[in-house]
Amino acid sequence: MSTKIHVGLSPGMLKSVCLSEGQRVDMKIFPKLWEKGDWEGIVYVIADKGYDFYDVRKRLQESSKQAVIPSRKGAFCPGVRDTERYKTRSAIERFFGKIKENKRLALRFDKLDTTFFVFFLLACLKVLKLFC
């Protein structure tokens, strides 16, 4: 069994987090991630191609957020070509790189979603330097 971790991240804080099955498509999880988060003060939503979907873009536009999501190959409508903002996505990649330094998370030692998620949150506290 594999697990995906979906994270809404802004500088120095988590906005929203949820888990899904590894085989589940990212765009199907976005509504759940969006509902759980506090998105005030966020102007740009930067995501990878897995979130390139009409409903995702529509929800962002309705809430007056600008989507910085590259389009999938063969997509009907082109994505925003804001390459300068998309480069900041490396911060998210670095965040997950630091999270996966914890062997327990990288190899999914915990069988229950709740224990896995709690350990993920502890790792987030460590990575975001929220421990005293």
For residue 115, is pLDDT > 70?
A: yes
Residues 83, 85, 53, 49, CA torsion sign: positive
Q: Residue 1: which pLDDT band, with cuts at 50, 70 and 90?
A: low
What pLDDT is attached to residue 58? 92
Query: Which pairing describes strands 44-46 and 13-21: parallel, antiparallel, or unpaired?
Result: unpaired
State the average pLDDT over residues 26-37: 89
- Condensed to tens digits (0 to 9), the pLDDT of residues 4-16 reads 888 888 887 888 8
φ and ψ of 77, to 5 deg: -105, 135
Question: Using CA atoms, how far apart are residues 26 and 9, in angstroms rounded to an integer?
Answer: 16
Q: Residue 75: which pLDDT band, with cuts at 50, 70 and 90?
A: low
Q: Which of 38, 22, 30 is nearest to 113 (CA)?
A: 22
For residue 2, is pLDDT > 70?
A: yes
What pLDDT is attached to residue 59? 92
Domains of the chain, residue spans: 3-127
Question: Using CA atoms, how far apart are residues 67 and 79, in angstroms rounded to an integer?
Answer: 8
Residues 6+ apart with CB under 8 A from 10: 41, 42
